[in-house]
């Protein structure tokens, strides 16, 4: 039955894409639409009301949402961001000290595999470190390593920030803390934190928007808890 009088929007689809639907709670396809409300008489639009409005419609549940929902990453993208962030932290921490230690390199490879890079091994690790310029000279003593902790710190810090920034707003506090602890584990694999490692982990914690107290207490707790595989 058509109502005599009514107000209903008329939508046009501008583009299609994927998004995380807050309505049905998962990665779905969406239509990005713009439209206008119309005053209707016997179902026919007779008078436009107000200006143009935009929305996003889920193709699965058909619900419409404000376009701001597109800012949230899809589950698939979030997983990728998380993987890349964990990997960037691992490489940066290793670059800050410990590239010469087998235990530290193994911990880094393990963390990379855990992040989602299956079959990640020593060869990939060395290539990644060389690309950052953070590789210690073969045979360099611990003392020398400490004097020049990270030749590629600039490139590393930049890569780190670009990997962490898009992620930070979308992770729960436990997720942020876990990322810092992954870094701490790599740093601690060859002994207590070097000053450069501690400094880098603190910078990681700040990028993850953790407070100074949280960072210190997480790093101290990690140092006093033996890691069990
Ligand atoms: Zn939906």
Residue 19 Cα to ligand 1 middle (Å): 9
Q: Ligand 1 mean position to 58 CA, how many Å?
A: 5
How far is the centre of ligand 1, averaged over its atoms, from the C-alpha of 61 (Å)?
4
Whether the Cβ atoms of residue 124 and residue 149 lie closer than 8 Å to each other:
no
Residue 72 Cα, ligand 1 centroid: separation in angstroms? 14
Q: How far is the CA of 91 from the centre of ligand 1 (A)?
A: 38
Q: What's the pLDDT at 216?
A: 97
Rounded to two decimals, what is the model's pTM?
A: 0.76
Give 65 Cα–ligand 1 centroid separation in angstroms.
10
Instruction: Dig out the tokens for 177 from the structure.
Output: 């803390």
Q: What is the largest CA-CA distance in the chain?
A: 87
Mean pLDDT of 164-175: 90
Q: Give the per-residue pLDDT at 166.
A: 85
Taking only the tens place, the pLDDT of each residue in 174-183 is 999 999 999 9
pLDDT band (50, 70, 90) for residue 155: low
What length does the chain have?
229
User: End-to-end distance of the chain based on CA atoms, in angstroms?
Assistant: 67
**Separation of CA 35 and ligand 1 centre (Å):** 20
Give the distance (Å) from ligand 1 centre to CA of residue 225: 44
Query: Alpha-carbon distance 188 to 225, whole Å?
Result: 10
**Which pLDDT value is given to residue 129?**
86
Strands in 26-41's sheet, in edge-to-edge order, are 5-21, 26-41, 44-58, 64-65
Distance 18 CA to ligand 1 centre (A): 11
Listing DSSP states for the chain in one string gives ---SEEEEEEEEEEEEEEEEETTTTEEEEEEEEEEEEEEEETTEEEEEEEEEEEEEEETTT--EE-GGGGGSPPHHHHHHHHHHHHHHHHHHHHHTTTTT-HHHHHHHHHHHHHHT-TT--HHHHHHHHHHHT-PPPTT--HHHHHHS--TTHHHHHHHHHHHHHHHHTTS-HHHHHHHHHHHHHHHHTTSSPPHHHHHHHHHHHHHTT--HHHHHHHHHHHHHS----
Q: Of 106-120, 161-175, 190-204, where does mean pLDDT reach its minimum?
A: 161-175
Per-residue pLDDT reduced to its tens digit, 101-150? 999 999 999 999 999 999 999 999 999 888 877 555 444 444 444 433 44
List, for residues 12-53, the tens digit of each pLDDT value: 999 999 999 999 999 999 999 999 999 999 889 899 998 999
State residue 159's pLDDT score.
75
pLDDT digits (tens, 9 = 90+) for 213-227: 999 999 999 999 865
pLDDT of residue 125: 93
Q: How far is the CA of 2 from the centre of ligand 1 (A)?
A: 28
Cα(124) to ligand 1 centroid in Å equals 40
| CA 172–ligand 1 middle distance (angstroms) | 22
> Ligand 1 mean position to 93 CA, how many Å?
40
């Amino acid at each position: 039955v058509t109502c005599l009088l009514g107000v209903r929007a008329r939508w046009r689809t501008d583009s299609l894409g994927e998004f995380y639907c807050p309505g049905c709670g998962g990665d779905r396809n969406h239509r990005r639409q713009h439209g206008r409300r119309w005053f209707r008489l016997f179902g026919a639009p007779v008078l436009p009301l107000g200006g143009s409005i935009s929305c996003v419609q889920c193709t699965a549940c058909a619900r419409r949402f404000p376009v701001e929902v597109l800012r949230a990453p899809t589950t698939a993208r979030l997983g990728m961001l998380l993987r890349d962030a964990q990997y960037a932290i691992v490489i940066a921490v290793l670059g800050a000290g410990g590239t010469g230690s087998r235990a530290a390199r193994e911990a880094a490879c393990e963390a990379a595999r855990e992040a989602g890079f299956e079959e990640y091994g020593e060869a990939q690790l060395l290539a990644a470190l060389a690309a950052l310029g953070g590789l210690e000279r073969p045979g360099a003593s611990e003392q020398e390593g400490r004097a020049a902790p990270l030749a590629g710190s600039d490139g590393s810090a930049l890569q780190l920030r670009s990997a962490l920034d898009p992620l930070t707003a979308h992770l729960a506090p436990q997720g942020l803390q876990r990322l810092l602890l992954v870094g701490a584990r790599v740093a601690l694999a060859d002994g207590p934190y070097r000053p450069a490692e501690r400094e880098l982990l603190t910078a990681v914690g700040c990028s993850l928007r953790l407070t100074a107290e949280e960072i210190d207490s997480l790093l101290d707790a990690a140092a006093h808890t033996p890691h069990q595989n």
